[in-house]
Amino acid sequence: MNDSTKTILLTGFEPFGGSQTNPSQLVALALDGKGVGRSQIKSAVLPVDRTGGPQALLEKMALYHPAAVVCLGEASRRTVVSVEKIAVNWMDFRIPDNQGEQLCDQMIDPEGPAAYFSTLPVREICMEILSGGIPAKISMSAGTFLCNQVFYTGLHSLATQSLVVPMGFIHLPSLPEQASRVSSPIASMSLETSVRAVEIALDVIQKRI
């Protein structure tokens, strides 16, 4: 790695909710160590744990001093790649996390603002993924579970440190094998397609850092 190489931190989550896999984990690991422009991807898999998840993200951010942060998550009820616009200071877990904790109507940080916008070029990322022939949309809600919590925590940490590091979140649909195992099979996206969507996003991002 020469002096001008920058790090993009790319995170996924471990499986949760009874699933054996998680597309965000597989996509993050598939791109670990890869180069994109003059940047290099460092991947991490976060636990689905209200305490351990955000903590692991902050540790990786402290470790790598990344020039950009892209967090990935699974959205099993979405049919297309969702580029999240906003992280909200709210937790209301639909299911328990992997430690069995299920928070209801709680702020992530009682001192923090209601929300932060993604600092990624959300519109451009969405347009480029679509141009690449992959269905995508801008989403105005990353939910109220770990995905949103980690997204908010990262942005809040950067803001309180006055660090100008582009950071955002992308939700991926379930994998075909996951979609085939629920009682009423649902929409899915292949791992190859999701990997390609994230590569396109990272390519947009690396041009800005």
Give residues in contact with a second copy (CB under 8 A).
Answer: 79-80, 85-86, 88, 90, 92, 105, 113-117, 123, 129-130, 132-138, 140-141, 143-144, 173, 176-177, 179-181, 184-190, 192-193
Determine whether 147 is an active site residue.
yes
Catalytic residue, from 71, 126, 171, 199: name it. Answer: 171
Cβ proximity to a second copy, 89 vs 206, nearer residue: 89
Cβ proximity to a second copy, 37 vs 135, nearer residue: 135
Residue 40 CB, shortest distance to a second copy, in Å, is: 28
Calpha distance 70→63 (Å, rounded): 15
Cβ proximity to a second copy, 29 vs 186, nearer residue: 186
Task: Count Cβ atoms below 10 Å from residue 182 Cβ, excluding itself.
Answer: 12
Q: What's the residue count for the chain? A: 209
Residue 96 CB, shortest distance to a second copy, in Å, is: 15
Catalytic residue, from 126, 147, 156, 199: name it. Answer: 147
Determine whether 84 is an active site residue.
yes
Residue 95 burial (10 A CB sphere; 0-12, 13-18, 19+): exposed
Residue 44 CB, shortest distance to a second copy, in Å, is: 26
Catalytic residue, from 71, 74, 84, 126: name it. Answer: 84
Q: What are phi and psi of 197, to 5 degrees?
A: -60, -45
Residue 167 CB, shortest distance to a second copy, in Å, is: 14
| Closest C-alpha to 152, from 165, 138, 142, 140 | 142
| Closest C-alpha to 128, from 169, 81, 86 | 81
Cβ proximity to a second copy, 37 vs 132, nearer residue: 132
Whether 201 and 31 have beta carbons less than 8 Å apart is answered as no
Calpha distance 209→207 (Å, rounded): 6
Q: Which residues are catalytic?
A: 84, 147, 171
